[in-house]
Amino acid sequence: MQLESGELDLALLDPKNAQNFKEKDGFTCYDMTTADYRGILFNFANDYWTKNRDIIPAVCYSIDRQAIIDSVLLGEGMPAYSPLQRNIYNNENVEHYDYNPEKAQEILEAAGCTRNSDGFYERDGEEIGFVISVMSGEQDRIDIAQAAAQQLRETGINCTVEIPAQMDWGGQMACLIGWGSPFDADDHTYKVFGTDKGANYSSYSNEKVDEYLSLARQSDDPEVRKEYYGKFQEELAEDPAYAFICYIDANYVADSGIQGISKDTVLGHHGVGIFWNIQDWTIEE
């Protein structure tokens, strides 16, 4: 409404609202590439994952990423399998956990899980399932979480979604996380996946991950860093901290009088960085 009234000249919108401006005179839409991904963070401080960490690969195989991109993001994004897909050190050979519900069920059954009368798996008398917490205010996160939960239920994992008034980082079971940086690989990975680091909200800890991230940040040789970030991604896929779902595009809508906005960059978390070439912009009244 603020864009339509002229109160705002530029805004970042969710894909569905941005779509409404595609055919409107006086507006230009910019669907921009980002390093901003969404995924399910598993809270390893919660006892549930002490018992059930071995079923996380089944969670990862249960998610139809392209279906979520098509339905929730209206095609504005790409499937995610790593935190560094939009980085120069991306390792394309890591495990992708492509959608494979049959493989997910094989993992569950190999772990001793059996289906109950409700169609959900259980182990040692306890149902396999968890709650994804989602921060209020970001509809795309809520929609992604609900779509993923539905897919998990179809596999036999009883997953539900809650939108708490305040996030309980220490007590929740899982949450729909948003992260990503287009800059130096260390800017994102070390603080998020390193043991006890400042942005490690999952309480994730893996000695090999710590080793590879430390070695990568100690070198300025691109080949050395590529080697260690590649190994980091392989280990993270072997022992997932998140179930990566998708990278989301940043859907900006601008008054057509603004000229010079360039899509020739990769934006950051929450679409940060659109002003990178603002010195080249002009505004026509």
Residue type at position 119: G
Alpha-carbon distance of 235 to 214, in angstroms, equals 14
In a domain, 138, yes or no: yes
Cβ–Cβ < 8 Å for 256, 24 = no
How many domains is the chain partitioned into structurally?
Answer: 2
What integer pLDDT is reported at residue 48 of this predicted model?
A: 96
In a domain, 103, yes or no: yes
Tell me the DSSP string of 89-155.
Answer: T--TTS----S-HHHHHHHHHHTT-EE-TTS-EEETTEE-EEEEE--TT-HHHHHHHHHHHHHHHHH
Same domain? 22 vs 49: no
Same domain? 74 vs 25: no
Phi, psi of 204 (to 5 degrees): -70, 140
CATH number of the domain enclosing 167: 3.10.105.10
Residue 213's region, left for phi above 0, alpha for psi from -120 to 50, else beta, is alpha
| pTM for this entry | 0.94
In a domain, 225, yes or no: no
Alpha-carbon distance of 13 to 41, in angstroms, equals 24
Residue 77 DSSP label: E
Alpha-carbon distance of 164 to 174, in angstroms, equals 12
Same domain? 89 vs 19: no
Per-residue burial over 193-224, b if 16 or more Cβ lie within 10 Å, else e, is: bbeeeeebbbbbebeebbebbebbbeeeeeee
Alpha-carbon distance of 115 to 13, in angstroms, equals 42
In a domain, 196, yes or no: no
Q: Note down pLDDT in tens along the chain; length 285 residues.
A: 999 999 999 999 999 899 999 989 999 999 999 999 999 999 999 999 999 999 999 999 999 999 999 999 999 999 999 999 999 999 999 999 999 999 999 999 999 999 999 999 999 999 999 999 999 888 899 999 999 999 999 999 999 999 998 888 888 999 999 999 999 999 999 999 999 999 999 999 999 999 999 999 999 999 999 999 999 999 999 999 999 999 999 999 999 999 999 999 999 999 999 999 999 999 987
CATH number of the domain enclosing 263: 3.40.190.10
Same domain? 85 vs 168: yes
In a domain, 215, yes or no: no
Same domain? 54 vs 156: yes
What integer pLDDT is reported at residue 165 of this predicted model?
A: 87
Same domain? 120 vs 255: no
Same domain? 130 vs 49: yes
Residue type at position 88: I
Same domain? 176 vs 267: no
Give the domain range for residue 94.
Answer: 37-182+240-248
Same domain? 86 vs 147: yes
In a domain, 98, yes or no: yes
In a domain, 189, yes or no: no
Same domain? 175 vs 133: yes
Same domain? 145 vs 277: no
> Residues 71, 74, 75, 76: is their CA dihedral positive or negative?
negative
What integer pLDDT is reported at residue 137 of this predicted model?
A: 83
Same domain? 60 vs 27: no
In a domain, 140, yes or no: yes
